[in-house]
Amino acid sequence: MTTENLNAAASGTFKIGGDLEVNRLGYGSMQLTGKGVWGDPKDPDEAVRVLQRAVELGVNFIDTADSYGPFVAEQLIRKALHPYTDGLIIATKAGLTRSGPDDWRPVGRPEYLRQQAELSLRNLGLERIDLFQLHRIDPKVPLEEQLGELEKLRQEGKIRHIGLSEVDVEQLQEASKITKIASVQNLYNLSTRKSEDLLNEAEKQNIAFIPWFPLATGKLAREGGPLDEISKKLNAKPAQVALAWLLRRSPVILPIPGTSTVSHLDENIEAANLQLSDEDFATLDKLSEQE
């Protein structure tokens, strides 16, 4: 496949919240930081090139979070892409605080969430955040207080839509009684499908389902296995096939594969053009390390 054929638009579109149309294959920015999602990346210039290349290839949905760095990813996005092109949707998150590499602690106090939203507006150079996600539900704070503050921010025009991350069906239903939920973001990929029920619920409600860690294939990519055989038949990499499976699995799925190199980004975008036969899709659909 030549680079001229690369475009995220081939993945189809979805309207987040019913009004924000994006190409389904997006980009996740967590890898644009240092080790342990802490501090600056080894090659900041390459990080900028990755973001610019993503937009060049039709990516118009970029997912980030205040805790990536912290704030490193958001600031890189602004450096690389501001002023933003029309139609570019940047989603961010708050609700996890950091004290060091690989350390993540939920904080959902209303005043903290408001503070982080204001900081994200500043760091991203935005007047309004199109999709603001509660990164984790803080068990120490009533959910109505956490989402209630986000709803206030929405009413003030500082955020447009509200999303959740790492929730179950019951939590989504509870949250929906407090405010309109436009998206959910859970760990989900070809080999890990613990959130299958949530995906089905999201599809039922036409809510965007954003799988994080979408490229994971684990033991399923072992040589001689079904994923390996399908990949070789399609002249594709296992991760590309895993992305193609996600795109076909449900029309509400918005994969956000992340990478810190332009070459890997190009490989990921190639998955938008990868067509799985009914037989190959059925074979992959039966695979899971949990089974």
Q: Phi and psi for 176 in degrees, rounded to 5?
A: -65, -20
Pairwise CA distance, residues 240 & 269, whole Å: 8
84 belongs to the catalytic site: no
Q: Are 20 and 131 in contact (CB under 8 A)?
A: yes
Q: Which residues pair with 134 in a beta bridge?
A: 94, 164
SS3 of residue 114 by DSSP: helix
d(CA 178, CA 138): 16
- Alpha carbon distance 171, 185 (integer Å): 13
Catalytic residue (one of 68, 84, 112, 188): 68
> 83 preceded by cis ω (within 30°)?
yes
| Residues carrying an active site annotation | 68
